[in-house]
Structure 1
Amino acid sequence: MFTSRNPEPAVPYWRLSGVYFFVCAVLGTMLPYWMLFMESLGYSAWQTGQLTALQMVTTFIAPYVWGEVCDRASSRLRVIRAGNLAAALIFLCVFAFFEHYWALVLAVCASAFCWQGLNAQFEIITLNHLGKDPHRYGRIRLWGSFGFLSAVWLTGQIINLYSVALLPYIVAGLLFTLWLMTLVNRDQPVKEQPDGNLEQPGGIWQNPVLWLLLVVFFLVNFSHGSYYGYYSLFLKQEGISAAVTGNLWTVAVASELLMFAAMPWVMRRFSLRFILLVSLCLTAFRWLGTGMQAGNVAELTLLQLLHGVSFSAVHTVAVLLFKQCVHTAHEGKAQALYCAVCIGGGQAAGVAAGGQIWAISPVASFYFSAAVAAGAAVIALLFLTANRLAPAGKEQQV
């Protein structure tokens, strides 16, 4: 457990980590396997795709709705607890609607609206606990990645040994466990923030730094679209076996975990701006190299190691900058915007655009991703200056 260097309470490392673990475990259980469960119920690929599309819509809307609610509530954690309990209870309705498509869709989407929409709000709980030690965020967040990886593997083993019919029981169990993890956590009192140069409540949309952050992190997530949507297919077309493809994905996840673990060391030595600029440049290099070294497994393995930079480092910097750039009264909405616009919107738009370019040339889709990431780096270099990223009245990490 982490201890602070002052009389403040110790950071509840395992309780915070537990929430990230089970949030990502739910995602790791549903994302790869829910389509298989829908197919087992006799639903068509079109109906399953419809459900997936509607779930994506909830990821755009839900975070901002919950951000508004939490920013107005007396206790952010109470809202998170209530929302996660609602998610678990609503998901139980799935068991009554296996043969009723639209009722099943409504139950799944309503549950996702609660548990996925509240993820961004728990980031604020974590950062408030960390206080003057935000560099420790990566050590907590890495358990989310570990939870996702564990859930994908264990759920796959259960389905292979028994039946995909067990999937909703697994998801329900994880949702209730996630709710229990929110109960053992506590709110951390936040010191009143002097107004300084930060925008006053109500002026979040007049904050130029927020807009710049939205653009930069939208673009870097957009650049991942071809990777998340078509990387495995890309490797298959280059004659790389499914086993090797799986190994390459494993290398990326391992790199992700290691980078989260290393972020405390990195953040003690370099500013957030420097980390961001280097990460964006390496992300562009990664996509360029992927296109150029398509059939070279050794080169692709080295490029997959950069996933820790393009995802873990970028995400850590984003969470901290979106918290830092706004008034305390708007922190919930800022994290929600990052989650909805940059992650949800950016990746969805990137997959769609990558698919259009893929139809012309698979290699070109990764060159396009490299250009987008490079564009994000240029914008960050020219406009996200140290002065802009260091508003008065908050802890500066730039």
Structure 2
Amino acid sequence: MLKPSPYGWISQYFLGFFFAYGVYLPFWSLWFKEQGVSSTDIGLLVGLGLATRCVANLVITPRVHRVEHLMPTLRWLSFAALIFVGFHFFTGGSFWLMALATVLFNLCCGPVVPLSDAMANYYARLKMLDYGRTRLWGSIAFIAGSTVVGFLVAEFGSDMILYTAMVGVFFSLLFAMRSINPMPVTRGDQYAERPKLSALLTDKSVVKFLVLVSLIQGSHAAYYGFSAIHWKAAGHSEDVIGYLWSLGVAAEVAVFALSKRLFAGWALRTLFIVAACGVMMRWGMTAATTSIVALVIVQLLHGVTFATAHIAAIQYIQNSEEHKMVALQALYNAIPLGAFIALMTVLSGWGYEHWGALVFWGMAAMGLLALFIKLDPQEPSHNVVDVSEKALETQN
């Protein structure tokens, strides 16, 4: 079997995995809905998936210490994910079986992003690939996945959600089975002990940062869980919903790609204010209208509400003391991008079932609260290029 370069191996793995993730994130709640699951229970299931990914990244991911273990781990995770996507076909409408399938699948896909990013960063340090150029293929694949599945569901029904996700996971496994040239090897200076996360949670400035980013990123919970259902109920077809999700990711990628020009010289406070104002505008519009023109604007604002906030968060982490950076990155992924979104997804499910689109006004209010949180001063970042590349580490 051919041995691809580090760039070829990792970018192609990203293509398969994020194609599947582009199916999973926007359309899984719609598949649950087609199985007769209530909005409240959909919120529980989606929140359970987010919480599982959070726990997996705190418990499973740190156990992979050596770079030569990354590739075998990704292979096993991809193989297990393929099985557990297929397991959804046998849930038979049972909430508890769906919950089990959700936990098992997210235990696999949760660690994939940080572990594959670790491989990319390893080879980037060796000057064998450009991280941003490599990771960009994941965002492109996410757009392709959400677009393709929207068309297929509109033509052939909701079972295509599972089939399409399985295709993406299968190709990620197929790409992962090849050996890379050269293979990763642990070096002596890579045995450094991981900083303790608990020590940072008593730091007032860190707590402010986590609360601020949780409010902005957590405001996306109703969007992740219920936008597809809400827009379908308003009369938009599945393929249109897929195009809208793809537009949001395209706006995100554009902001990442242009961040060096867009945000050069901007203060961290300004970035967070722009993101918070975008949150109020975006979710207020989502609550008020389902006009296709308005929804195009709503999705273009994803570049503000998600990407700009993510760039600001990465800049905050990079401006911190060097020995704190890894721990801060772990807390950022575990709490604002994991546990808090999981909690808000559960609450959004209850809110959507009782109030419908009005739940998005609650998401808009989170942007208002974020405006009142001012972070403690930091030294300004001097490396906006690195910020834009690391910003591509999304959870889309």
- Distance of aligned partners of 1:70 and 1:162 in 2 relative to their CA distance in 1, 3 Å threshold: same
1:341-360 → structure 2 map (5 Å cutoff): 341-351=335-345
Structure 1 residue aligned with 2:250: 254
1:214 aligns with 2:210: yes
Deviation of 1:136 after TM superposition, in Å, equals 5.6
1:286–1:303 contact (8 Å) kept in structure 2: no
Q: What are structure 1's unaligned runs of at least 5 residues?
A: 1-9, 391-395
Matches of 2:363 and 2:174, distance apart in 1: 42
1:54 aligns with 2:51: no
Structure 2 residue aligned with 1:205: 198
1:120–1:336 contact (8 Å) kept in structure 2: no
1:81–1:183 contact (8 Å) kept in structure 2: yes
C-alpha distance after superposition, 1:79-124 (max 9, x if no partner): 2332222322444444555477645542442122112233223223
Deviation of 1:13 after TM superposition, in Å, equals 3.8
- Distance of aligned partners of 1:18 and 1:55 in 2 relative to their CA distance in 1, 3 Å threshold: same
- Distance of aligned partners of 1:289 and 1:176 in 2 relative to their CA distance in 1, 3 Å threshold: closer
1:226–1:365 contact (8 Å) kept in structure 2: no
- Distance of aligned partners of 1:100 and 1:142 in 2 relative to their CA distance in 1, 3 Å threshold: same
Matches of 2:21 and 2:45, distance apart in 1: 15
Residue type at the aligned position of 2:371: A
- Secondary structure of the 1:385 match is coil
- Distance of aligned partners of 1:147 and 1:320 in 2 relative to their CA distance in 1, 3 Å threshold: farther
Q: What are structure 2's unaligned runs of at least 5 residues?
A: 389-396
Structure 2 residue aligned with 1:4: none
Structure 1 residue aligned with 2:394: none
Matches of 1:136 and 1:270, distance apart in 2: 21
- Distance of aligned partners of 1:363 and 1:95 in 2 relative to their CA distance in 1, 3 Å threshold: closer
Structure 1 residue aligned with 2:220: 224
Matches of 1:275 and 1:15, distance apart in 2: 37
Matches of 2:267 and 2:138, distance apart in 1: 21
1:309 aligns with 2:304: yes
- Secondary structure of the 1:118 match is helix
The correspondence for 2:103, drawn from 109, 119, 124, is: 109
The correspondence for 2:22, drawn from 25, 28, 52, is: 28
1:61-80 → structure 2 map (5 Å cutoff): 61-71=55-65, 75-80=69-74
Deviation of 1:27 after TM superposition, in Å, equals 2.3
Q: CA RMSD in A?
A: 4.8
Q: Structure 2 length as normaliser, TM-score?
A: 0.69
- Distance of aligned partners of 1:328 and 1:386 in 2 relative to their CA distance in 1, 3 Å threshold: closer
- Distance of aligned partners of 1:48 and 1:352 in 2 relative to their CA distance in 1, 3 Å threshold: closer
- Secondary structure of the 2:379 match is coil
- Distance of aligned partners of 1:314 and 1:52 in 2 relative to their CA distance in 1, 3 Å threshold: closer
The correspondence for 1:172, drawn from 166, 169, 194, is: 166
Structure 2 residue aligned with 1:371: 368
Q: Which has the higher contact order (CA 8 A, sep 6+)?
A: 2
1:60–1:341 contact (8 Å) kept in structure 2: yes
Residue type at the aligned position of 1:284: A
The correspondence for 1:144, drawn from 126, 138, 143, is: 138
Name the count of aligned residue pairs.
367
Structure 1 residue aligned with 2:275: 283
Residue type at the aligned position of 2:77: G
- Distance of aligned partners of 1:129 and 1:105 in 2 relative to their CA distance in 1, 3 Å threshold: same
Matches of 1:229 and 1:94, distance apart in 2: 18
Matches of 1:211 and 1:323, distance apart in 2: 17
2:30–2:229 contact (8 Å) kept in structure 1: no
Deviation of 1:315 after TM superposition, in Å, equals 3.0
Larger radius of gyration: 1
Q: Structure 1 length as normaliser, TM-score?
A: 0.69
1:385 aligns with 2:382: no
Deviation of 1:182 after TM superposition, in Å, equals 3.4
